[in-house]
């Protein structure tokens, strides 16, 4: 992150806070230190979450599973993540957020290690659900902290920087798991102190889970909590900071939030369903897990972080230029890139051409992922920010979890497991319908709500 951008954020924040009689925003150094640590935590979380996708084939072979069962396994994380996140939102609006996140990091890291020790499918399923318990603390707390550290016209870059952990984590998980799989393929099973002899996929999960436990301790003792903000404009649109207040606010703006959330749900459904891409490329094109991991990890690292940061920069520049609904416009741009480029590669007969189109899909997914929360934060009163973000994550996680389930069910019951690519292609088509139908209404109500918040 450039010093100029950080200083711009601090200056604007101080001015905004002073002008409104509110608490000043933290300094540039303090705000960006929080963002960097939160981003590192998000990278850890996404590696622990993503790694399982690259281990589908050996897990399937060891436990004798169908694609249908794998679809539910890939979704296990999201179910508990979403439910626990609702409680976490309430806690985050009241508790010390950096400590809450620290405990969460320790929990999900330990659960990843437990995934590598599972002896049955049920144990593995429970361990993956437990990863979701820990990770449910992170993003609601992170966006609450970022919202209290930067004014709305300067949030695009820090949110995009934080969101860049998604492609960084996915890329590192691909490269790391590919390297470990390649190494263990030639070296056989591995032995770790206290854990004994481990097959390659078990060794991989334990190795990626252990470092997070140490990072959790550092997180708790280094970071300083920013002051919570209650801005005057929000008092006109919400009564208090309780869960009922959050639900009432959502009820009053139900169609607007449905429009925004459905956009991001399409992204999560596609992204989660792509957990089947390593298996798809292996069955369709003969790519090994190691090859897919290397190519995919390199592409994600080259495309993802830069794409997200550029989108955050564009969002800030458009807002500063007076385009107050800039974030929502960018989300729709990402959406219309993401949908066709998720489906078309699955019917392309050449592996390299199919993967090239998927690289364009990475850009669309990155835009929606990076800017979706920016669009949402603009119209959320600070008093209930943590709770509404938790509800938002509940929705996009629950709906997103349907992505791999749909792929697994269509593959096992409709197309046949040798034609899994056709099942993957169905997901973007299914989840594009509602956002497109609500597009006009979403823009109209979004601008009206910004006016009520004193932004437009």
CA distances from 184 to 55, 115, 191, 200, 294 (A): 13, 18, 11, 6, 15
pLDDT for 238: 55
> Does the predicted model carry a pTM greater than 0.85?
no
**Strand partners of residue 190:** 198
* Residues 420, 442: Cα–Cα separation, whole Å: 34
Domain edges within the chain: 27-452
Six token digits for residue 228: 């919570």
The backbone region for 223, taken as left when phi is positive above 0, alpha when psi lies in -120 to 50, beta otherwise, is beta
Other CB atoms within a 10 A radius of the CB of residue 148 amount to 21
Helix (H) or strand (E) holding 88: helix 67-92
pLDDT by position in tens, the chain (length 456): 333 333 333 333 333 344 444 567 777 788 888 888 898 898 888 888 777 877 887 898 889 888 888 888 877 777 777 677 777 777 877 778 888 889 999 999 999 999 999 999 999 999 998 888 888 888 778 878 887 888 766 777 787 788 777 788 778 877 876 776 677 667 777 778 888 888 888 888 888 888 888 888 888 888 788 877 655 444 445 555 567 777 888 888 889 999 999 999 999 999 989 888 988 999 999 988 778 888 888 888 888 888 877 887 887 788 778 788 888 999 999 999 999 999 999 999 999 999 999 999 999 998 898 788 888 878 887 777 777 877 888 888 888 889 999 999 999 888 988 899 999 999 999 999 999 999 999 999 998 888 877 765
Cα atoms found within 13 Å of the Cα of residue 243, Cβ hemisphere only: 10
Burial class (CB in 10 A: 0-12, 13-18, 19+), 254: exposed
3-state secondary structure of 188: coil
Nearest to 428 by CA among 357, 350, 356: 357
Q: Which residues contact 327 (CB under 8 A, 6 or more apart)?
A: 156, 315, 319, 371, 374, 375, 378
**Strand partners of residue 197:** 191
CB of 297 within 8 A of CB of 173? yes
Residue listed under structure tokens 């309430």: 90
Six token digits for residue 198: 């481990």
Helices (H), 274-384: 277-285, 289-320, 326-343, 351-377
- CATH 1.20.1250.20 at 27-452, yes or no: yes
3-state secondary structure of 97: helix
Q: Which residues contact 379 (CB under 8 A, 6 or more apart)?
A: 253, 256, 446, 449, 450, 453
**Strand partners of residue 191:** 197
Backbone angles phi, psi at 198, to 5 degrees: -130, 140
CB of 442 within 8 A of CB of 328? yes
3-state secondary structure of 167: helix
pLDDT for 318: 86
């Amino acid at each position: 992150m450039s010093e100029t951008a950080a200083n711009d954020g601090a200056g604007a924040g101080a001015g905004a806070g002073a002008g409104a009689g509110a608490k000043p925003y933290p300094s540039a150094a303090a705000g960006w230190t929080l963002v960097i640590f939160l981003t590192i935590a998000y990278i850890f979380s996404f590696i622990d979450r993503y790694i399982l996708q690259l281990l589908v084939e050996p897990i399937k072979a060891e436990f004798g599973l169908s694609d249908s069962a794998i679809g539910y396994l890939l979704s296990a994380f999201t179910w508990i993540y979403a439910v626990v996140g609702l409680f976490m939102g309430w806690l985050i609006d009241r508790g010390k957020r950096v400590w809450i996140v620290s405990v969460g990091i320790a929990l999900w890291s330990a659960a990843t290690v437990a995934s590598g020790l599972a002896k049955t499918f049920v144990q593995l399923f429970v361990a993956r659900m437990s990863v979701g318990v820990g990770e449910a603390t992170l993003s609601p707390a992170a966006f609450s902290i970022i919202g209290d550290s930067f004014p709305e016209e300067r949030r695009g870059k820090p949110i995009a920087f934080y969101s860049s952990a998604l492609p960084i984590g996915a890329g590192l998980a691909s490269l790391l798991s590919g390297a470990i799989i390649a190494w263990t393929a030639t070296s056989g099973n591995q032995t770790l102190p206290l854990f004994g002899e481990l097959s390659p996929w078990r060794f991989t999960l334990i190795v990626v889970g252990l470092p997070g436990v140490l990072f959790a301790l550092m997180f708790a003792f280094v970071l300083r909590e920013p002051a919570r903000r209650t801005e005057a404009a929000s008092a006109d649109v919400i009564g208090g900071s309780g869960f009922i207040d959050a639900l009432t606010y959502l009820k009053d703006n139900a169609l607007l939030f449905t429009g925004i959330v459905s956009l991001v749900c399409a992204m999560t459904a596609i992204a989660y369903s792509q957990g089947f891409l390593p298996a798809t490329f292996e069955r369709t094109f003969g790519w090994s897990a190691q090859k897919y991991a290397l190519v995919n990890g390199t592409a994600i690292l080259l495309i993802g972080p830069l794409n997200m940061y550029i989108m955050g920069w564009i969002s800030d520049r458009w807002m500063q230029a007076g385009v107050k609904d800039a974030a929502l416009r960018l989300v729709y741009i990402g959406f219309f890139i993401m949908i066709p480029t998720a489906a078309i590669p699955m019917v392309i007969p050449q592996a390299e051409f199919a993967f090239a189109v998927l690289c364009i899909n990475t850009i669309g997914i990155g835009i929606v992922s990076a800017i979706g929360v920016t669009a949402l934060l603009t119209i959320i009163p600070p008093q209930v920010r943590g709770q509404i973000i938790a509800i938002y994550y509940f929705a996009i996680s629950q709906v997103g979890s349907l992505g791999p389930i749909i792929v697994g069910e269509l593959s096992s019951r409709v197309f046949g497991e040798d034609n899994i690519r056709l099942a993957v292609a169905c997901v973007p088509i299914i989840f594009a319908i509602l956002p497109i139908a609500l597009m006009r209404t979403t823009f109209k109500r979004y601008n009206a709500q910004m006016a009520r918040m004193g932004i437009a």
